[in-house]
Amino acid sequence: MTGVGVAVALLVTLSGAAWTARAATVAILPPPRPLAGSQPFATLLCKFAGVAVEPVSISYFDRLMLEGPESLDQYWRAMSSGRINVAGSQAFGWFAMPHPPRVYRNNEPDSAELEALARDCSAAADADVDFTRFTGINLVFNECLLRPRGGEMALTLDGVRRRFRVLWLCPGASAAHQIVAHEMGHSFGLTHSTDEDGDEYGNTWDVMSVAGYCAGESDFGLLAQEPIAFNKDLLGWIPPERKFRSPGREARTIVLDAADGGTGYLIAEIPLGRSRMYTVEARVRAGFDDALSTSGVLIHEVDFRRQNKARLVSPQSNRAGDVAGMFGGWSAGATFDDAVSGVSVRVDEALENGFIVTISQGTTPAQIVRSGGPVRLAPHASGQRSSASSPICGDETRN
Ligand SMILES: [Zn+2]
């Protein structure tokens, strides 16, 4: 930073709603914008002065980012339909921080001097790391001062000042696949979604909300589920021809696909005036979604005026106490009706890779003529098939 009066030299995006801007620090979210291409991350392992332990290895992060079908490289390739990857990522360390942990603590709960942590860790690595190769930096400290964070920050490295995607991590659960994916999502500009009650850590269907419910286990800890379709669309990962926009006053029956590869829609949007809409998407237990509690159609009420824009709309009968939202999907035969807006979403049939739904707005489903081309129906047992992975439900992690 170059001195007094430069108010926003620093761009830090924080994952928690509790983050508040402090003097001389402006915390903002980078606007989510279409994201494509390689996004290599340098992972820097940094040791605090006076803390000798090295609780995690560079090989763990090299594997987490790049090795095997569960790596974050494969995860982001799948989530973006091949638009992004993290090829070229590499871990380095350990590097010596100039100060002990107490220097980076502050008086706020679950908070620390994020900018100083980032500056000192990256500066310690600057002689050994060619940062021109990377768009992102994972900062991994040998002691956890706060919950993980992800965002964006300007740093001067290799003599050049530019913005990096930055994650603040530490060993243990904070280094798990699901957590790192969530924080990477923040660094791409995504905010949390919420469950029906507005809990930003309560939407089990979104990697950008819950980390820890119903996740598969792997060598990398809990595996990330997918982002909701609204988040994929914010990053430009849903092509226009795979996006259905309700024409209003005209009911339509469409095929919603859970994954790329078919010909159905990947998201349906039902406009509700200028700043709100419903989104409808299919989610099927497969791939990174294998540990979801069930397959289902998701409905989100999106309000672009909220920081956490997407709110899950759950069937009342499917809500489950303190884990509301966990079963918030709509299954075949269910109908969502919004009397205020006249919107109706009826789930007609489960398919192998999605659902057939009928969307109407101010009209009646009886007028509907089915469209959407040939479809393959799901085997009857598909909703009950057991997962190859071991779902862990209820081990909550907030970050
Ligand atoms: Zn978060």
Looking at the 3D structure of the chain, how many domains does it have?
A: 2
- Is 280 within 8 Å of 369 (Cβ atoms)? no
Span from the CA of 266 to the centroid of ligand 1 (angstroms): 24
* pLDDT value at residue 213: 58
Q: DSSP readout, 254-269?
A: EEEESSTTSSSBSEEE
pLDDT tens for each residue of 70-121: 999 999 999 999 999 999 999 999 999 999 999 999 888 888 999 999 999 9
Residue 15 lies in a domain: no
Span from the CA of 239 to the centroid of ligand 1 (angstroms): 26
Span from the CA of 56 to the centroid of ligand 1 (angstroms): 22
Residues 176 and 58 in one domain: yes
* pLDDT value at residue 330: 92
- Backbone φ and ψ of 373, nearest 5°: 80, 180
Residue at a domain's end among 136, 156, 187: 187
Residue 24 lies in a domain: no
Span from the CA of 181 to the centroid of ligand 1 (angstroms): 10
Residue 332 lies in a domain: yes
Span from the CA of 46 to the centroid of ligand 1 (angstroms): 22
Look at residues 297, 296, 289, 295 and name the one whose alpha carbon lies nearest to residue 389.
Answer: 289
Share of the chain above pLDDT 90, in %: 65
* pLDDT value at residue 248: 85
Residues 165 and 239 in one domain: no
The two tokens of residue 63 are 């594997």
Residue 112 lies in a domain: yes
Look at residues 127, 98, 129 and name the one whose alpha carbon lies nearest to residue 113.
Answer: 98
pLDDT tens for each residue of 324-361: 344 678 999 999 999 999 999 999 999 999 999 999 99
Residues 234 and 379 in one domain: yes
Residue 316, number of CB atoms within 10 A of its CB: 6
The two tokens of residue 137 are 């930096």
* pLDDT value at residue 317: 59
Residues 165 and 242 in one domain: no
Residues 377 and 296 in one domain: yes
Residues 353 and 258 in one domain: yes
Q: What CA–CA distances, in Å, run from 299 to 14, 87, 279, 326?
A: 26, 33, 6, 13
Residues 260 and 356 in one domain: yes
- For 67, the domain range is 37-187
* pLDDT value at residue 176: 93
* CA separation for the pair 217, 260 (Å, rounded): 24
In sign, the C-alpha dihedral spanning 96, 63, 213, 237 is positive
* pLDDT value at residue 210: 76
Span from the CA of 240 to the centroid of ligand 1 (angstroms): 28
Span from the CA of 28 to the centroid of ligand 1 (angstroms): 14
Look at residues 227, 236, 244, 238 and name the one whose alpha carbon lies nearest to residue 260.
Answer: 238
pLDDT < 70 regions, the chain = 1-29, 211-214, 317-327, 363-399
Span from the CA of 29 to the centroid of ligand 1 (angstroms): 12
Q: What CA–CA distances, in Å, run from 246 to 227, 314, 383?
A: 22, 20, 28
* pLDDT value at residue 286: 93
Peptide bond into 94 cis (omega under 30): yes
Span from the CA of 177 to the centroid of ligand 1 (angstroms): 14
Residues 175 and 315 in one domain: no
Span from the CA of 151 to the centroid of ligand 1 (angstroms): 10
Residue 66 lies in a domain: yes
Span from the CA of 147 to the centroid of ligand 1 (angstroms): 9
Residues 43 and 151 in one domain: yes
Residue 321 lies in a domain: yes
Span from the CA of 364 to the centroid of ligand 1 (angstroms): 40
Look at residues 92, 98, 116, 82 and name the one whose alpha carbon lies nearest to residue 41.
Answer: 92
Which protein residues have a CB closer than 5 Å to ligand 1 (ion)?
A: 15
Residue at a domain's end among 137, 172, 187: 187
Residue 43 lies in a domain: yes
Residue 306, number of CB atoms within 10 A of its CB: 15
Residues 150 and 247 in one domain: no
Residue at a domain's end among 157, 187, 217: 187
* CA separation for the pair 18, 288 (Å, rounded): 29
Residues 265 and 349 in one domain: yes
The two tokens of residue 115 are 């900018």
Q: Which residues contact 226 (CB under 8 A, 6 or more apart)?
A: 79, 205, 206, 207, 232, 283, 287, 288, 289
Residue 6 lies in a domain: no
Residues 166 and 233 in one domain: no
